[in-house]
Amino acid sequence: MFEDFINALQNFRINKMRTLLSLLGIVIGVMSVVIITTLSQSLSKSISAEFERFSLDTLTIRARWNPDTKKQWVQFTEEYRNTLMQKIPKIKNIFYTNDFNAKFSKGNTVSGNKQVYAVEPDRLEAMGLQLDYGTFFSLGDYAYGLQKAVIGKNIAEELFPEGRAVGKTVTLQISSGYNDIPPYNFQFEVIGVLKDSQSWMGASPAESVFIPRQFYKHKLMFAGMEARDLWSAEVKLLNSEDIEYVQAQILLISKELANGFARPVWVFSAKEQLNTINKVVSLVGVVMTAVAAISLLVGGIGIMNIMLVTITERRKEIGIRKALGATKTAIRNQFLVESAALTLTGGVIGVGVGLVISNVIAKTVLPMLAENPNDITVITAFDIQGIIISFAVSVSIGIFFGLHPALKAAKLDPVEALAD
């Protein structure tokens, strides 16, 4: 068997161009499968890491609207929050966050419409945001709704190109919501600047502003700004294993508050979203792998054709070997090994090239698909099982498609072969 393998390699060296063309189909097929499985695995791992960054022990409650009253079935009030906290001891905290658009300016420099988030204590830390410099809000800032702001790095660089923004004052211009009432202007002291980090659930910290929620609740509403109902809340759990239990309890309590309406709120978790996304990624990966596997089949047919041509050209060699006593099994094994060696070589090359290309794509192309390259940290994860399977399939294809030519060679009559 080893001697057959050495002879196969010698034949490859003699017929370099034919060998190269024969390898091409197998190389492309294996390479395609490796690239698809690796990118699918990398995308899945990267998405999982992104969700884990925001922790999987969090639930989101979204309001549903009552078409009759044109209001939410459940209002996100302090009473609602306290009810959930009291009846579900497995909840660590419930965060309410108001958001709106506003313009920021410093002198004649105006930063366009930015997303402003009115947050509660511990919310910024729970979001995983980090400071470039400065501080977060103190408990006093939250309690009294002081006019202090933590701003994104891009906004700080736009308004304060000369240097540090902390301690400086910016003007917050908010639309009143009415055409006949001019916008409101509020002076805010910048106390912190956020690092240019990954996006938080669709919001870019570098382009966002955070203020105490008490300011929004009391001062903006008092000034006459159009009130906006809260339509979502974030629930932080003591233990991520209790997600399903807490989810069911929130729905049950909300149903009671909504006079028995079956589903007054949506309650979903990052874990559920992650599982759904991973299922979609896996399904797409399977479909693409199946498509790529077709090229392996085509490559196998090419191997069979080449082997048939080879046997026709080497009829005299086969006849001499049989005349010298070679058995049908020996002849069959010779060409089977040659076919398998061909696909084995193609498999090795395909795996190597596939790993290199998939790594390059994962590091360069995938981040470019995000609006901000910082929004995603790509984890290159090689699918070892997929690589082994694709490699094994390539060798199996060589044996399968090489079997017919090998049997044909084994059945040759030595007299006829030598006469040719």
Per-residue pLDDT of 360-406, as tens digits, reads 887 777 666 555 555 556 667 777 887 888 878 888 887 888 888 77
Give the C-alpha separation, 266 to 74, whole Å: 11
- Shared-domain flag, residues 52 and 74: no
What mean pLDDT do residues 204-231 have? Answer: 75
Instruction: Give me the residues paired with residue 102 across strands.
Output: 114
Q: How far is CA 290 from the centre of its chain?
A: 21
Retrieve residue 416's tokens.
């006829």
What mean pLDDT do residues 74-79 have? Answer: 87
- Shared-domain flag, residues 71 and 2: no
Is pLDDT at 54 greater than 70 in this prediction? Answer: no
Give the structural domain span for 72: 64-95+230-262
Q: Name the pLDDT band for 281 (thresholds 50, 70, 90).
A: confident
- Shared-domain flag, residues 197 and 236: no
Q: How far is CA 256 from CA 242, 262, 316, in A?
A: 21, 9, 90
What mean pLDDT do residues 353-357 have? Answer: 89
Q: What is the pLDDT of residue 252?
A: 92
Q: Name the pLDDT band for 87 (thresholds 50, 70, 90).
A: very high
Helix H segments across 54-190? 78-87, 123-126, 139-144, 153-159
302-306, Cβ contacts within 8 angstroms, sequence gap of 24 or more = 302/21, 302/22, 302/24, 302/25, 303/22, 303/25, 303/26, 303/339, 303/342, 303/343, 303/397, 303/398, 303/401, 303/402, 304/401, 304/402, 304/404, 304/405, 306/18, 306/21, 306/22, 306/342
What mean pLDDT do residues 35-52 have? Answer: 77
What mean pLDDT do residues 89-108 have? Answer: 87
- Shared-domain flag, residues 106 and 48: no
Q: What is the mean pLDDT of the chain?
A: 80
What mean pLDDT do residues 268-278 have? Answer: 78
Q: What is the pLDDT of residue 335?
A: 77
- Shared-domain flag, residues 275 and 404: yes
- Shared-domain flag, residues 110 and 76: no
Q: Name the pLDDT band for 319 (thresholds 50, 70, 90).
A: confident
Is pLDDT at 149 greater than 90 in this prediction? Answer: yes
- Shared-domain flag, residues 87 and 111: no
Q: What is the pLDDT of residue 44?
A: 77
What mean pLDDT do residues 230-247 have? Answer: 87
- Shared-domain flag, residues 305 and 404: yes
Domain tally, the chain = 3
**What residue type is 56 in one-letter code?**
L
Q: What is the pLDDT of residue 337?
A: 80
Retrieve residue 228's tokens.
């906006």
Q: What is the pLDDT of residue 332?
A: 82
Give the C-alpha separation, 299 to 304, whole Å: 9
Is pLDDT at 413 greater than 80 in this prediction? Answer: no
- Shared-domain flag, residues 142 and 101: yes
Assign 225 to helix, strand or coil.
coil
Is pLDDT at 157 greater than 80 in this prediction? Answer: yes
Q: Name the pLDDT band for 297 (thresholds 50, 70, 90).
A: confident
- Shared-domain flag, residues 38 and 72: no
Give the C-alpha separation, 399 to 395, whole Å: 6
Give the C-alpha separation, 418 to 420, whole Å: 5
DSSP 372: S
- Shared-domain flag, residues 274 and 406: yes
- Picking from 244, 262, 280, the residue at the C-terminal end of a domain is 262
Q: Name the pLDDT band for 310 (thresholds 50, 70, 90).
A: confident
Q: Are 150 and 103 in contact (CB under 8 A)?
A: no
Helix H segments across 202-314? 213-214, 221-222, 243-257, 270-313
Is pLDDT at 411 greater than 70 in this prediction? Answer: yes
What mean pLDDT do residues 56-70 have? Answer: 82
Q: Are 131 and 192 in contact (CB under 8 A)?
A: yes
Q: What is the pLDDT of residue 250?
A: 93
What mean pLDDT do residues 113-126 have? Answer: 86
Give the C-alpha separation, 297 to 302, whole Å: 9
- Shared-domain flag, residues 397 and 285: yes
Is pLDDT at 257 greater than 80 in this prediction? Answer: yes
- What's the predicted TM-score (pTM) here? 0.64
Q: What is the pLDDT of residue 55?
A: 64
Sheet of 58-63: strand order equals 91-96, 232-237, 58-63, 265-269
